[in-house]
Amino acid sequence: MAAAGARTARWPWWLQLGGLYLAARLVSACIFMAAALQQGVNPWFPPKPDYWNFINIWDARWYAEVLGNGYPVALPTDDAGNVQENAWAFYPLFPLLGRSLTALTGIAPAASLTVIAMLSGLAAALVIYRLFRHRASQRTALWGAVFVSTFPVSPVLQVPYAESLNLLLLASALLLVVRRRYLWAMPVVLLMCLSRPTGVPFAATVGLLFLYRVYPHLPTLSRGGRPLTAAAGPAGATPPVTGMAAPAVPGAGEHSRGELWSLAGLTAVSGLGALLWPGIAWAVTGDLQAYTKTETVWRGHDLVPFKPWFDTGVQLFGPVLGLVAPFVFVAAFVALLRSRPVVALGAELRLWCVCYLVYLLVFLHPQTSTFRMLLPLFPLALSAAFVSRSRAYRGTVVVMFMLLQLVWVVWLWAWAQLPGGGDYPP
């Protein structure tokens, strides 16, 4: 066993990680198949479905609807004029790629979406490793990518959902930002904005990064011509933690005026990209609020920033503790962001985590799908790997994540009618 492990360690990084990712997906597939054997009566198929039917439920049916029939020109409404659930809530890039693959190969649409999800998930793991290598040693970066691959909601990376495609594009965009390839990041960000609603927090991230880079050097900018020295890192940064490597890009090097203008341009493109899909929905339907009206159908009420967190807190913890719970959650996350392992992620990845969490606090209606929506916080997987180089610790994290996959699939993916009807969505 030790000899086999030593030989495996000599493999190229992409082969090591690719094998580990596929092994993780095989474990998740076994969990899906075991849960399918326990699946009873449901809205989609007879009890005890096979694996392929079992993974093509929930939002996968909506993506298949978009692939086959596109988007409605007019928003569907009930007799009272209330907008009903419809395809505008689901971004177009994933089903468009599925339609193209079906046209090229002739395979079934569900199979096309599954193939794209699987390949995107594998590619995302490889890009995430390259991103993590800018802040960590090879072994620590590999463990961080493995943590992402085995995360409790990682089974979603192999079902016909857009999460794996969005994760690939998000990781690629962050990698290009860390490498200061701001112009190259622009088309990637536009594609990302058409895969899932991550454009708003990404625009906030690069906008704040621009201010962070340019503010200390405004006097130099006003004189013009001279290169600008970028800040070495976040204020109050702590010394490197275990497993951290020297940054692969010059985090304490020089930012030229051209780089700053490119970063400003990326901020503008990201902002426009965030508005792209709501704008398309408006142009097609003629309703300025077509996208937001559709999104809020699943909530059962209009969007009011922050309020759903307090409503859910009261529902879970009572009228007093429930109002305090969101503040406790935010305080805990701030403490996490100030911890040494998270500080070691660097300014770009920390900013992304902050902006994405703020985005969730402002716009998200917290419910069972929230677990899946935490996947874009994947940089925190590297901070988890920074905690200790112990194989026992890192192996325990992987085992714990796989056990929690069981909980996620059995509790949320498998369908079981609630007393009031319906079921909790994954």
**Statement to judge: residues 279 and 405 lie in one domain:** no
User: Which range marks the domain in which residue 286 is found?
Assistant: 198-238+256-292
Give the residue ranges of DSSP H helices in 89-246: 93-105, 109-132, 138-150, 163-178, 182-193, 199-214, 218-223
The pLDDT of residue 239 is above 50: no
The domain total for the chain is 3
Q: Is residue 247 situated within a structural domain?
A: no
* Mean pLDDT comparison of 109-118, 229-238, 295-304, highest-scoring range: 109-118
Q: How do residues 45-73 score in pLDDT, each as one tens digit?
A: 999 999 999 999 999 999 999 999 999 99
Please state, in angstroms and rounded to a whole number, the distance separating the CA atoms of residues 135 and 240.
10
**Statement to judge: residues 28 and 99 lie in one domain:** yes
For residue 62, the model assigns a pLDDT of 97
The one-letter amino acid code at 377 reads: L
How far does the chain reach from its first CA to its final CA, in angstroms? Answer: 38
Q: How do residues 362-410 score in pLDDT, each as one tens digit?
A: 999 899 999 999 999 999 999 999 999 999 999 999 999 999 999 999 9
**Statement to judge: residues 100 and 204 lie in one domain:** no
The pLDDT of residue 249 is above 60: no
The pLDDT of residue 12 is above 50: yes
**Statement to judge: residues 17 and 161 lie in one domain:** yes
**Statement to judge: residues 20 and 152 lie in one domain:** yes
Q: Is residue 319 situated within a structural domain?
A: yes
The pLDDT of residue 256 is above 60: yes
Q: Is residue 192 situated within a structural domain?
A: no
- Pick the closest to residue 291 from 91, 67, 61 (CA basis): 91
For residue 226, the model assigns a pLDDT of 52
Q: Is residue 266 situated within a structural domain?
A: yes
For residue 124, the model assigns a pLDDT of 98
The pLDDT of residue 232 is above 60: no
Residues 83, 75 contacting (CB under 8 angstroms): yes
Q: Is residue 248 situated within a structural domain?
A: no
Q: How do residues 22-50 score in pLDDT, each as one tens digit?
A: 999 999 999 999 999 999 999 999 999 99
**Statement to judge: residues 203 and 279 lie in one domain:** yes
* pLDDT classification of 301: cutoffs 50, 70, 90: confident
For 288, list phi and psi in degrees, rounded to 5.
-55, -30
- Pick the closest to residue 376 from 201, 119, 134, 234 (CA basis): 201
Please state, in angstroms and rounded to a whole number, the distance separating the CA atoms of residues 240 and 403.
31
Q: Is residue 1 situated within a structural domain?
A: no
Residues 231, 312 contacting (CB under 8 angstroms): no
**Statement to judge: residues 279 and 306 lie in one domain:** no
Please state, in angstroms and rounded to a whole number, the distance separating the CA atoms of residues 56 and 161.
9
The pLDDT of residue 340 is above 60: yes
Q: Is 205 left (phi over 0), alpha (psi -120 to 50) or beta?
A: alpha
The pLDDT of residue 236 is above 60: no
> Long-range contacts of range 283-289, CB-CB < 8 Å, 24 or more positions apart?
284/71, 284/73, 285/72, 285/73, 285/74, 285/75, 285/88, 287/75
**Statement to judge: residues 144 and 84 lie in one domain:** yes
Cα dihedral: 220, 223, 225, 230 (round 10): 10
**Statement to judge: residues 231 and 312 lie in one domain:** no
For residue 237, the model assigns a pLDDT of 41
Q: Average the pLDDT over 236-257 and give the result.
A: 55
The pLDDT of residue 1 is above 60: no
**Statement to judge: residues 415 and 339 lie in one domain:** no
Half-sphere exposure of 32 (CA within 13 A, CB side): 23
Please state, in angstroms and rounded to a whole number, the distance separating the CA atoms of residues 177 and 257.
16
What would you report as the CA-atom Rg of the chain, rounded to the nearest whole angstrom? Answer: 22
Q: How do residues 186-230 score in pLDDT, each as one tens digit?
A: 999 999 999 999 999 999 999 999 999 887 666 655 555 554 444
For residue 224, the model assigns a pLDDT of 54
Q: Is residue 188 situated within a structural domain?
A: no
122: number of Cβ within 10 Å: 21
**Statement to judge: residues 98 and 172 lie in one domain:** yes
Q: How do residues 347-360 score in pLDDT, each as one tens digit?
A: 999 999 999 999 99
The larger pLDDT score, comparing residue 290 to residue 221, is at: 290
Q: Average the pLDDT over 88-108 and give the result.
A: 97
For residue 196, the model assigns a pLDDT of 97
The pLDDT of residue 238 is above 80: no
Q: Mean pLDDT score of the chain, rounded to an integer?
A: 90
Please state, in angstroms and rounded to a whole number, the distance separating the CA atoms of residues 98 and 109.
6
Q: Average the pLDDT over 99-119 and give the result.
A: 97
**Statement to judge: residues 44 and 114 lie in one domain:** yes
For residue 400, the model assigns a pLDDT of 98
Q: Average the pLDDT over 291-302 and give the result.
A: 87
For residue 5, the model assigns a pLDDT of 57
Q: Is residue 215 situated within a structural domain?
A: yes
Task: Find residue 296's DSSP bridge partners.
Answer: none
